[in-house]
Chain A
């Protein structure tokens, strides 16, 4: 019974959020659902034979209403001062709130705008914007910057075969409502970032620099992608190649990476008490999530791993599908936009669900496949995850990877060995960057030219 209620809460809440992401449900309708829940509760009390069913229905109705209300209260509202300046050149002061995203032709800076210069006066504003700056703009997370450029709104764009990518809502999930194109960036010396997040990003950069010193490209980029989920380090062409053969999951921070880290920490600190050991592992997992930029897929994997640690410490059973449901619903309750508008979260949650539900089934179907080199596990887990993510992938980008299974089979066989070598190499990867004679970082002190 408690399990049925748990699933009733999770599914109904998610359904409420999902439906309200596209359709406005009026308060009167939600109140009506509340009345129906009260009626169901009454029948649960008066009909003992069908008590469980009525309770589940009542809980589902209330959870659906709560999900709908949560989505409606999370609506994104722009800043009126900024909205009045759309399509005009503006000067905004704000703080770089994420790690700068260096692309092939530009750098994208996520900026929490604090003030808007309008003529000789300064107006306080509160909005998150993306500034598209020239390629070699040198800014760090937390820098206080002044941005000058043309303010606009993000627009949906066509992808393939008649599909359209909902870019405005994709950005809105992170609270980003404006774009500043052709941005010229002027830094101050101030840094107002979270010191822990800044340290995580600095450690990641140091690690990636170290990998670059001991490995050539693209191997160094792939190592960075697999270990810290830095997909950009692989480059656009190789990322497309990995997407075409359904190997791109190797380049994002997943539960697998985090499990490797937890096991390495457990081995390293095995002389300490279990609670201390797993406490350190938990802290490292949080640090890893920060290094991955707090992406929803990394948060999901990290949260599930943390609960697994807790289960291990307290000698409790770990029901993966229930934990996935609770973690996913909690993340959606925190930010309901990710359910409908974050492909990373959707694919990550579905792939994990496929792993949990269908891998044991495929493992039995492929009982004749030898277990040597983990072949049966790789085939079963690839089939399980691919089966679950395939409908969504086809809907989103229409790409069907024909050779996903053999590509995964041949590539994933090498991953455990590559991970173990990189784990031992991880500490040494920091050395070249740490010991390297560093020249002062070039910083822009003038209005750069847009490209």
Chain B
């Protein structure tokens, strides 16, 4: 099917990109297990950081979208 050719090329490109980066040295690092409290702390820091940035921007940053 002629329409399949460009899709095939683009899908093949995505697969090549994934395989290329996965084959690079140190593509993934594995960390040892850690306590769930560290997880809670990480998210607390993320939300505090977001609140700080939002406050310093005067509320300019938000997730509002009009569709």
Q: Is the interface of A mostly helix, strand, loop or mixed?
A: helix
The reply to whether A403 and B14 form a contact with Cβ atoms under 8 Å apart is: no
Closest to A162 in B: B33
Assuming the contacts A401-B27, A414-B10, asked whether A241 and B4 have C-beta atoms less than 8 A apart, the reply is no
Assuming the contacts A223-B7, A402-B27, asked whether A360 and B17 have C-beta atoms less than 8 A apart, the reply is no
Q: Does A123 have its Cβ within 8 Å of any Cβ on chain B?
A: no
The reply to whether A222 and B46 form a contact with Cβ atoms under 8 Å apart is: no
Closest to B7 in A: A421
The reply to whether A418 and B14 form a contact with Cβ atoms under 8 Å apart is: yes
Assuming the contacts A214-B1, A391-B43, asked whether A402 and B26 have C-beta atoms less than 8 A apart, the reply is yes
The reply to whether A387 and B28 form a contact with Cβ atoms under 8 Å apart is: no
Q: Report Cα–Cα, A356/B62, bound state, in Å.
A: 7
Which of A148-156, A242-250, A267-275, A290-298 has 4 or more CB atoms under 8 Å from chain B?
A: A242-250
Q: Does B48 have its Cβ within 8 Å of any Cβ on chain A?
A: no
Q: Report Cα–Cα, A311/B67, bound state, in Å.
A: 7
The reply to whether B3 and A428 form a contact with Cβ atoms under 8 Å apart is: yes
Bits for B13-37, please: 1 = Cβ < 8 Å to A, else 0: 1110111011010111111111010
Q: Report Cα–Cα, A155/B6, bound state, in Å.
A: 46
Q: Does A320 have its Cβ within 8 Å of any Cβ on chain B?
A: yes
In the complex, what residues of A have CB within 8 A of residue B61's CB?
Answer: 357, 360-361, 364
Q: Does B63 have its Cβ within 8 Å of any Cβ on chain A?
A: yes
The reply to whether B3 and A399 form a contact with Cβ atoms under 8 Å apart is: no
Q: Does A388 have its Cβ within 8 Å of any Cβ on chain B?
A: yes
Most buried by A among B6, B8, B18, B65: B18
Closest to A240 in B: B22
Shortest CB-to-CB span from B64 to chain A, Å, is 5
Shortest CB-to-CB span from A313 to chain B, Å, is 10
Kindly identify, within residues 364 to 396 of chain A, every residue whose CB is under 8 Å from any CB belonging to chain B: 364, 387-388, 391-392, 394-395
The reply to whether B63 and A356 form a contact with Cβ atoms under 8 Å apart is: yes
The number of chain A residues with a CB under 8 A from chain B is 57
Partner of A391, one of B12, B22, B27, B39: B39
Which of A60-68, A78-86, A95-103, A404-412 has 4 or more CB atoms under 8 Å from chain B?
A: A404-412
In the complex, what residues of B have CB within 8 A of residue A216's CB?
Answer: 8
In the complex, what residues of B have CB within 8 A of residue A205's CB?
Answer: none
In the complex, what residues of B have CB within 8 A of residue A287's CB?
Answer: none
The reply to whether A399 and B30 form a contact with Cβ atoms under 8 Å apart is: yes
The reply to whether B63 and A245 form a contact with Cβ atoms under 8 Å apart is: no
The reply to whether A361 and B28 form a contact with Cβ atoms under 8 Å apart is: no
The reply to whether A421 and B21 form a contact with Cβ atoms under 8 Å apart is: no
The number of chain B residues with a CB under 8 A from chain A is 42
Shortest CB-to-CB span from B14 to chain A, Å, is 5
Q: Report Cα–Cα, A418/B46, bound state, in Å.
A: 34
The reply to whether A395 and B39 form a contact with Cβ atoms under 8 Å apart is: yes
Q: Report Cα–Cα, A288/B15, bound state, in Å.
A: 25
The reply to whether B29 and A241 form a contact with Cβ atoms under 8 Å apart is: no
The reply to whether B46 and A387 form a contact with Cβ atoms under 8 Å apart is: yes
In the complex, what residues of B have CB within 8 A of residue A402's CB?
Answer: 24, 26-29
Q: Report Cα–Cα, A428/B7, bound state, in Å.
A: 13
Q: Does A215 have its Cβ within 8 Å of any Cβ on chain B?
A: yes
Partner of A424, one of B3, B14, B32, B50: B3
The reply to whether A241 and B67 form a contact with Cβ atoms under 8 Å apart is: no
The reply to whether A428 and B1 form a contact with Cβ atoms under 8 Å apart is: yes
Q: Does A358 have its Cβ within 8 Å of any Cβ on chain B?
A: yes
The reply to whether A414 and B53 form a contact with Cβ atoms under 8 Å apart is: no
The reply to whether A422 and B7 form a contact with Cβ atoms under 8 Å apart is: yes
Shortest CB-to-CB span from A58 to chain B, Å, is 23
Q: Does A398 have its Cβ within 8 Å of any Cβ on chain B?
A: yes
Q: Does A190 have its Cβ within 8 Å of any Cβ on chain B?
A: no
Partner of A410, one of B17, B32, B64: B17
The reply to whether A245 and B6 form a contact with Cβ atoms under 8 Å apart is: no
The reply to whether B18 and A414 form a contact with Cβ atoms under 8 Å apart is: no
Q: Report Cα–Cα, A400/B22, bound state, in Å.
A: 12
In the complex, what residues of A have CB within 8 A of residue B8's CB?
Answer: 215-216, 219
In the complex, what residues of B have CB within 8 A of residue A162's CB?
Answer: 32-33
Q: Does A308 have its Cβ within 8 Å of any Cβ on chain B?
A: yes
Partner of A244, one of B11, B15, B27: B27
Assuming the contacts A215-B11, A222-B11, A421-B3, asked whether A317 and B64 have C-beta atoms less than 8 A apart, the reply is yes
Binding site for B on A (CB under 8 A): 160-163, 214-216, 218-219, 222-223, 238, 241-242, 244-245, 247, 250, 308, 311-312, 317-321, 356-358, 360-361, 364, 387-388, 391-392, 394-395, 398-403, 406-407, 410-411, 414-415, 417-418, 421-422, 424-425, 428
13 additional A-B pairs beyond A244-B22, A428-B1, beta carbons within 8 Å, are: A214-B4, A222-B14, A312-B67, A318-B67, A321-B62, A388-B46, A395-B36, A398-B33, A399-B30, A400-B29, A402-B26, A407-B21, A425-B3
